[in-house]
Structure 1
């Protein structure tokens, strides 16, 4: 019988797989980092929007967002009796806002956002099913300068919150499909080619590409640090239909190199996993000492395959990952105020940067009480004294 209360508490604390509580001081630390990222975006002209957590299913999963259907939780709206979805990614929501609420706003349209998303299941690299996203979308221009702006902003935002060893891995997910289409590699032939490239399997690539094996092997080999990888890609005789993708990548790498010559940039011209619906230059963000991606971005159209959609490019930073890439929470100056401390005196301390904790009882050992409540200082005769 004595174990019953303990078991009951343990049952209440149990959460579904992939969900967790964020406790002090980590919850405050995350909020501060999100605020600093948004501030950096705002300094570059990006204005914040805040879409709802839940939307009607047909709107939430329209266009290219249909690819998120198997990651979306559904619920029935008791008011309208229509199916709703809990967002699993915020980019489609921002695209919807741009195409509807802000359709008459001046272009280029620069928007930023932050919020939580929920997914049906985690991945091998991210077990969490709920996590935070912070990002931006640049809607309207279809230029290399827009691509470069987004990449550079992602790097500067991560640097602003203390991430070290930031690197950018660029790809153009439309390149390989364009080459394959020009060579009439479709259906099962293309699926085998795609699988071989995804697994970097030279033998399987030779079998899947047949007489075009040398061409695709050369594209696969044009990977590595920029701009050397761009030079190798430039030496390959690509079909004319793929030339625009190669040229755009070349321009973007040059612009990034001019603006941030010390930024680590690599090229992977065959990477497509996770970028299936991107329409141009795309990228993955990494940071030193962190397993997996810190974020990712790329070019797309706000209406998916619809001809009325606008060109856009943006990126998303994953807050759970970025927190592992930066220094942890720093200690704060936390002072215990004895019972009865004047409110004006406490306000003055807070104005000086102190975090005040008001005692709720008189105590014989105020030092012990201050330590028990996690304070670094105790207020004595109007002066905070270190413990």
Structure 2
């Protein structure tokens, strides 16, 4: 017994998804993809494993510490198991679909695997579903990505959604403009990450004023934008604020029920983002539902990459907020009538469970209850009989 039990154990962070949860997750993924496709996003299916040099190129370098590696016994080259699907879709867009008219809109869904979980997300295998919009640097593209993510989540039943918009490149640009040395930059970054206003004041001079105001300019979108605009930043660092001011009204129109906040100093988790980024939440649901933002698709040591934006939704969190479906009606069919009646009932939308031995015909109601059915067919009703509900 002990040996058999040990064989059923799974590595930390991995789990079996059982009925009816597996069917619920599959239906939710289908609903998300249907919403993506309705707005012109075409589905692609990257492989689970790729050669390491392509999987970890450009933006993929940010997920290198989370990537499982293995040797391909055929080519003798190192391969990686994807930890994130964004970089794969970007590769497809900039290589296989390089000649397709821009912008190209792609969507996807599939499992990802990470070397280790995180404190707030201990799962190591997570199904992702998302979209990438590649070949446009317009503010309209940012608004489309955020609105599509929120509206797709609403379409599968999540409520009270919110998005937190981040500007991860703004603080580093200000460090450069302020002329901070390496030591002061590190202290400033640490203070901003901790939201430590006193430590920001201790920086002194113009850095304390500007970064303190930046720290204060977070919260509800409208006041946060006003606070950022009041900073009077030079054009070299004000670009992201201008983009934010263009995105917010479009987002309000495309997703009017979405609660929007702005965090001008957050950068953790946006390692490969190159501009406006965002995180999605739902009130009462533990963990983030997804992340997205601007990045350079196909970027690498010798290429700048294409302007791109997109998002990934995490099904482990999404399923915590997606309403459970009503139990499906399942009808038990005694052995004697299964072949004759089954096709007719299935054509009418029933799920049928057939008996496999003659003994099941003696008490079909008991067999139906034992097998988790809601209805049963009584042989006495003949081939034209209708399912009876269990009492």
TM more than 0.5: yes
Counterpart check, 1:311 vs 2:307: yes
Q: Note closer, same or farther for the CA distance 1:166–1:206 as it changes in structure 2 (3 Å cut).
A: same
Q: Which residue of 1 aligns with 2:154?
A: 159
**Inter-partner Cα distance in structure 1 for 2:200 and 2:58:** 32
**Inter-partner Cα distance in structure 2 for 1:261 and 1:29:** 28
Aligned pairs for 1:223-238 within 5 A: 223-238=218-233
1:207 CA drift (Å): 2.5
RMSD: 1.3
Deviation readout 1:113-146 (Å, 9 max, x if unpaired): 0000000000011000001000000001100101
Normalised by the size of structure 1, how large is the TM-score? 0.96
Q: Which residue of 1 aligns with 2:171?
A: 176
Deviation readout 1:17-71 (Å, 9 max, x if unpaired): 0000000000111100001100000000000000000001111101121121111
**Inter-partner Cα distance in structure 2 for 1:355 and 1:154:** 33
Q: Which residue of 2 aligns with 1:372?
A: 370
Deviation readout 1:160-203 (Å, 9 max, x if unpaired): 00001110111111111111111112422212211111110112
Counterpart check, 1:357 vs 2:353: yes
The number of residues matched between the two structures is 382
Aligned pairs for 1:66-145 within 5 A: 66-145=61-140
Name structure 2 gaps, 5 residues minimum. none
Is the 2:151–2:255 contact (alpha carbons within 8 Å) kept by the matching residues of 1? no
Counterpart check, 1:194 vs 2:197: no
Is the 2:52–2:78 contact (alpha carbons within 8 Å) kept by the matching residues of 1? yes
Counterpart check, 1:296 vs 2:291: yes
Normalised by the size of structure 2, how large is the TM-score? 0.95
Q: Which residue of 2 aligns with 1:241?
A: 236
1:209 CA drift (Å): 5.6
Deviation readout 1:285-329 (Å, 9 max, x if unpaired): 001211220001000011235544110000000001100011124
1:210 CA drift (Å): 5.0
SS at match of 2:132: strand
Name structure 1 gaps, 5 residues minimum. 1-5
SS at match of 2:130: strand
**Inter-partner Cα distance in structure 2 for 1:102 and 1:337:** 50
Is the 2:166–2:265 contact (alpha carbons within 8 Å) kept by the matching residues of 1? yes
Q: Note closer, same or farther for the CA distance 1:208–1:19 as it changes in structure 2 (3 Å cut).
A: farther
**Inter-partner Cα distance in structure 1 for 2:18 and 2:254:** 40
Counterpart check, 1:30 vs 2:28: no
**Inter-partner Cα distance in structure 1 for 2:16 and 2:254:** 40
Is the 1:179–1:239 contact (alpha carbons within 8 Å) kept by the matching residues of 2? no
SS at match of 1:114: strand
Q: Note closer, same or farther for the CA distance 1:248–1:55 as it changes in structure 2 (3 Å cut).
A: same
**Inter-partner Cα distance in structure 1 for 2:210 and 2:338:** 78
Is the 1:76–1:84 contact (alpha carbons within 8 Å) kept by the matching residues of 2? yes
Q: Which residue of 2 aligns with 1:262?
A: 257
Q: Which moved more, 1:226-235 or 1:129-138?
A: 226-235
Q: Which residue of 1 aligns with 2:247?
A: 252
Is the 1:171–1:283 contact (alpha carbons within 8 Å) kept by the matching residues of 2? yes
**Inter-partner Cα distance in structure 2 for 1:9 and 1:114:** 34
1:342 CA drift (Å): 4.8
**Inter-partner Cα distance in structure 2 for 1:225 and 1:153:** 20
Counterpart check, 1:19 vs 2:14: yes
Counterpart check, 1:336 vs 2:339: no
Is the 1:179–1:241 contact (alpha carbons within 8 Å) kept by the matching residues of 2? no
Query: Which of 122, 143, 147 is matched with 1:148 structurally?
Result: 143
Is the 1:377–1:384 contact (alpha carbons within 8 Å) kept by the matching residues of 2? yes
